Structure 1
Amino acid sequence: MIDELILQVVSDESASHEELVEQARHLKEHLNQLPGVEASELTTPAAAGTRDTVSYVFGVLALAVFTVPTVKRAAADIRHLAEVIKRYQERNKGKRLRMTLPDGTEIDVRDVSEKTLAELIKSVSAPRQGTASVAEKVDGD
């Protein structure tokens, strides 16, 4: 698994926390239908002295993209993932998505094309050195 991408639902107008949570959950459902993608609500450690061990961040999803298939996970179709994100953006006028890359760079999704978004996701999803990969079968093996 790569470092997670963060997707945040942001409103261009005033929106309640409940509305942002609902929008994020709707997007999460769509993303989790894609092979090789795992979206979950972002959590943070709860404040000291509270009973909960984690707190949910309103309207924010952690997105893991698997480019190397494992026994339980398929490789992600990154082009389709970018398409789902852009279509969500188009359907939800007045809301926009902000993506935070593992290095902390923030990108407003509506400012990039679907092709650029796919290339960006692919660039941060590529297996790095030290990451387990699927061995290629070579003739004679």
Structure 2
Amino acid sequence: MADGLILRVVADGPVTDEELAEQARYLKDHLNQVPGVEATELVKEAEPGTRDPVSIIFGALTLAVFSYPTAKRAAADIRHLTEVIKRYQDRNKGKRLRMSLPDGTEIDVRDVSEKTLTEVIKAASVPRQGTPAVTQKVDGE
């Protein structure tokens, strides 16, 4: 589906696609306020013969976390990102977040501590290919 992190809003009970989409958009707005993070709704190609070229997967976001600053992006404050995710989880009882890592591993966010979640996001965040990282000067260079 996607090369980066995927964050899904999962309901513990029956909900409509519209409710999941609304919850995902709410979370996306908060995630996009964190420097170095780009959250977008996850889309896939529509089935052949349909009019829409893409379809939104309700309740799912792709999450690009930039670990190195680039010319246009700051490095993400991963601790702040983790706090946003955990606060969303705390405020929205009856809904939980599930994170899919690039290697296919899935994590239920409510089952991990902020510290563990921070480490998981750090490990999964790498600069995008084709996006040069700003070189860091080492003493003596």
Q: TM-score, normalised by structure 1?
A: 0.92
The structure-2 alpha-carbon separation of the partners of 1:76 and 1:84, relative to structure 1 and needing over 3 Å to count, comes to same
Residue 125 of structure 1 and its aligned partner are, at CA, apart by 1.1
Q: Say what the alpha-carbon RMSD is for the aligned residues.
A: 2.1
The alignment partner of 1:9 has SS state of: strand
- Are residues 1:52 and 2:52 paired? yes
Partner residue in 1 for 2:88:
88
**Aligned mates of 2:109, 2:139 — CA distance in 1:** 44
- Are residues 1:21 and 2:14 paired? no
AA partner of residue 57 (structure 1): I
Residue 24 of structure 1 and its aligned partner are, at CA, apart by 0.3
AA partner of residue 102 (structure 1): P
Matched residues, percent identical? Answer: 72
AA partner of residue 49 (structure 1): G
The structure-2 alpha-carbon separation of the partners of 1:92 and 1:16, relative to structure 1 and needing over 3 Å to count, comes to same
**Aligned mates of 1:139, 1:60 — CA distance in 2:** 44
Partner residue in 1 for 2:37:
37
The structure-2 alpha-carbon separation of the partners of 1:22 and 1:129, relative to structure 1 and needing over 3 Å to count, comes to closer
1:96-123 Cα distance to aligned partner (Å, 9 max, x none):
0000000010110000001100000001
The structure-2 alpha-carbon separation of the partners of 1:86 and 1:51, relative to structure 1 and needing over 3 Å to count, comes to same
Partner residue in 2 for 1:99:
99
The alignment partner of 2:119 has SS state of: helix
Q: Which deviates the most, 49-58 or 80-89?
A: 49-58
Q: TM-score, normalised by structure 2?
A: 0.92
The structure-2 alpha-carbon separation of the partners of 1:97 and 1:131, relative to structure 1 and needing over 3 Å to count, comes to same
Q: Could you list the runs of 4 or more consecutive aligned residues of structure 1 that deviate by over 6 angstroms after TM superposition?
A: 128-131
Structure 1: which 5+ residue stretches go unaligned? none
Does the CA-based 8 Å contact 2:4-2:124 persist in structure 1? no
1:34-57 Cα distance to aligned partner (Å, 9 max, x none):
000000000001000112111100
The structure-2 alpha-carbon separation of the partners of 1:91 and 1:52, relative to structure 1 and needing over 3 Å to count, comes to same
- What is the count of residue pairs matched by the alignment? 140
Structure 2: which 5+ residue stretches go unaligned? none
The structure-2 alpha-carbon separation of the partners of 1:133 and 1:44, relative to structure 1 and needing over 3 Å to count, comes to same
